[in-house]
Amino acid sequence: MVEVPRAFRDMPRWWTDAAGRAWVDELPQLVAAQCARWRLESDGAAMHGSNALVVPVRRGGQRFALRLAPPGDDVEAVAEALRVWRGHGVVDLIDVDLATRALLLDRLDRLDRRRSLAALPPVDAVAELAEIARRLAVPVPTSVRTTAAIASEEAERFRRERATGAGRSPHLDAAIACAQDLASGGDGPLGVNGDLHADQVLAGPAGWTVVDPVLLRGDLEYDLGRVLWTRGDEASDDDTVTRLFDVFVERAGVPRERARRWVVTRSMSYLLWGLDHGLTEDPVRCRRLLDVFA
């Protein structure tokens, strides 16, 4: 039986998700059942991100990664992202089982699980993420969800927050204005990774490889806020945070003001989510970005 890492059991997303906690408890049996379906054998310790478990597996002499997602995750969308971006520096999709929310991914021996972009200094990592964002900016189906639609939803969410009088951020009015502006013009034809950060990019024989992208369409600067809050603790002062922002804008070739608005919008969104779910560290990071960019 595969052992579920304690760090995965302790992820914040399960704190208020009873169905998710039950799924985590059942994972050893679910992994064993999926291995039987696909004639796989476990081949190492399980890994994880924020929501999915990934198990090294093999079939004969071939090595793969088995990814299992929790109830409610849109596995079909993950599979579509991997298909759309095949050949553009993302991990290859080998097979999918939507009923069990399982993906079989490219051979692990082609990727270095011990070396992600997080190992690079912040400036270098941000520059590489900007290049990855440009590489993934290819035409995608018009059915793909747009960043403009997300901005419109966030603007409405922020207005509801203001109406409650909770007062959890002095930058709420600025975030509403930014999101309203982004709701127009962010529906272009190019692909956007909606989960852009250094831990999701591993070293491979052909260069840096994205392992768990989220397919959106529109502004490729959409997730710059996440890029910054995941490396912000390594920035000693606000000028360094601004420098990381500048590096991404320059290397990705995106509009500076629109990028600033996305940082404000995404930081406010995650701040409110984090407070609602009892997080203590990430809200501090989001408030810092809001102080700098709002």
What confidence tens digit (pLDDT) does each residue in 220-266 have?
999 999 999 999 899 989 999 999 999 999 999 999 999 999 999 99
- Residues 147, 196: Cα–Cα separation, whole Å: 14
Position 30 confidence tier, pLDDT thresholds 50, 70, 90: very high
Asked whether residue 12 carries a pLDDT value surpassing 90, the answer given is no
DSSP-assigned letters across all residues of 13-26: GGTT-HHHHHHHHH
* Averaged pLDDT for residues 161-172: 87
Give pLDDT tens digits for 109-118: 566 666 889 9
Question: Token digits for 171?
Answer: 């930058």
Rounded to whole angstroms, the Cα distance separating 93 from 51 reads: 18
Residue 270's contacts (CB-CB under 8 Å, 6 or more residues apart) are 225, 226, 229, 282, 286
pLDDT at 83: 96
Enumerate the active-site residues: 195
The answer to whether the CB of 284 falls within 8 A of the CB of 182 is no
The radius of gyration computed from the CA coordinates of the chain, to the nearest angstrom, equals 19
CA–CA distances in Å: residue 166 to residues 3, 45, 60: 42, 44, 58
Written as six digits, the tokens of 212 are 């768990």
For residues 70 and 267, give the distance between their C-alpha atoms in angstroms, rounded to a whole number.
25
Calculate mean pLDDT across residues 56-85: 93
Nearest-10 Cα torsion for 189, 194, 196, 202: -90
Q: Which of 38, 87, 25, 86 is nearest to 66 (CA)?
A: 38
